[in-house]
Amino acid sequence: MKGGPTVVVPHEGGPLRVALLGCGVVGTEVVRLLTTQAEDLAARVGAPLELVGIVVRDLRVEFDPVVDRALLTADAEGLVERADVVIEVMGGIEPARSLLLRAIAAGASVVTANKALLAEDGPTLYRAADEAGVDLYFEAAVAGAIPIVRPVRESLAGDRVRRVLGIVNGTTNYVLDRMATEGLDLDIAVKEAQQLGFAEADPTADVEGFDAAAKAAILASLAFHTRVSLDDVAREGISGITADDVSWAAQTGHVIKLLAVAERFDDGVSVRVHPTLVPREHPLAGVHGAFNAVFVEAEAAGELMFYGRGAGGRPTASAVLGDVVSAARHRVLGGKGPIESSYADLPVLPPSAGLSRFQLRLDVTDQPGVLAQVALVLAEHAVSIETVRQAPLAGRGGKKLAHLVISTHLAPVAALSATVDALGELEVVDHVTSVMRVEGA
Which positions are annotated as active-site residues? 215
Which residue, 309 or 361, has its beta carbon nearer to a copy of itself?
Answer: 309
Q: How distant, in Å, are the alpha carbons of 129, 178, 246, 257, 358 from that of 251? A: 51, 16, 9, 15, 16
Q: Is residue 84 near a copy of itself by the rule CB under 8 A?
A: no
| d(C-alpha 30, C-alpha 35), whole Å | 9
* CB of residue 231 to a copy of itself, shortest distance in Å: 25
**DSSP 8-class letter at 418:** H
Residue from the set 31, 145, 278, 413 that interacts with a copy of itself by CB under 8 A = 145
Taking CB under 8 A as the binding criterion, the range among 102-110, 190-198, 298-306, 431-439 that sits at the site for a copy of itself is: 298-306
Query: Which residues between 44 and 73 bind a copy of itself (CB under 8 A)?
Result: 44, 46
CB closer to a copy of itself out of 178 and 225 = 225
User: Binding a copy of itself by CB under 8 A: which of 20, 41, 207, 401?
Assistant: 41
> How many Cβ atoms from other residues are within 10 Å of residue 436's Cβ?
22
Residue with Cβ nearer a copy of itself (128 or 238): 128
324 is a contact residue toward a copy of itself (CB under 8 A):
yes
Pairing type for strands 49-55 and 16-21 reads: parallel
Q: Which of 304, 364, 377, 411 binds a copy of itself (CB under 8 A)?
A: 304
Residue 279 as a binder of a copy of itself (CB under 8 A): the answer is no
* C-beta closer to a copy of itself: residue 122 or 308: 308
Non-local (6+) Cβ contacts of 347 within 8 A are 267, 268, 269
Q: Burial level of 40, CB count in 10 A (0-12/13-18/19+)? A: exposed
**Binding status of residue 151 toward a copy of itself by CB under 8 A:** yes
Q: Is 254 in the site for a copy of itself (CB under 8 A)?
A: no
Rounded (5°) CA angle 409-411-416 = 125
Q: Does 83 bind a copy of itself (CB under 8 A)?
A: no
Distance in angstroms (rounded) separating the CA atoms of residues 11 and 315: 29
- Residue of the chain from 109, 318, 407, 419 that contacts a copy of itself (CB under 8 A): 318
Report CA 202 to chain centroid distance, whole Å: 19
Q: What is the largest CA-CA distance in the chain?
A: 85
Q: Report the residue from 66, 74, 93, 333 that binds a copy of itself according to the rule CB under 8 A.
A: 333
The H or E element spanning position 119 is: helix 115-132
Q: How far is the CB of 342 from a copy of itself (least distance, A)?
A: 10
What region, left, alpha or beta, does residue 311 occupy, with left being phi > 0 and alpha being psi -120 to 50 degrees? beta
Q: How far is the CB of 314 from a copy of itself (least distance, A)?
A: 4
Contact 337, 328 (CB under 8 A): no
Residue 154 binds to a copy of itself (criterion: CB under 8 A): yes
Question: Smaller CB distance to a copy of itself: residue 95 or 147?
Answer: 147
Assess 182 for contact with a copy of itself (CB under 8 A).
no
- The stretch near a copy of itself (CB under 8 A) out of 114-122, 150-158, 214-222, 432-440 is 150-158
Among 168, 319, 346, 420, binds a copy of itself (CB under 8 A): 319
Q: Which is nearer to a copy of itself, 91 or 338 (CB)?
A: 338
Q: Are strands 161-167 and 385-396 parallel, antiparallel or unpaired?
A: unpaired
Reduce the secondary structure of 54-110 to three states and give it as a string. EECCCCCCCCCCCCCHHHEECCHHHHHCCCCEEEECCCCCCCHHHHHHHHHHCCCEE
Question: Is 303 one of the binding residues for a copy of itself (CB under 8 A)?
Answer: yes
Q: Which has the closest alpha carbon to 275: 290, 257, 289, 260? A: 257
Q: Is 139 in the site for a copy of itself (CB under 8 A)?
A: yes
Does residue 300 interact with a copy of itself by CB under 8 A? yes
What is the C-alpha to C-alpha distance for residues 238 and 107, in angstroms, rounded to an integer? 43
Q: Which residues of this protein are in contact with a copy of itself, per CB under 8 A?
A: 1, 5-8, 10-11, 29, 33, 37, 40-41, 43-44, 46, 139, 145-147, 150-151, 154-160, 225, 283, 286, 298-309, 312, 314-315, 317-326, 329-330, 332-336, 338-339, 341, 343-344
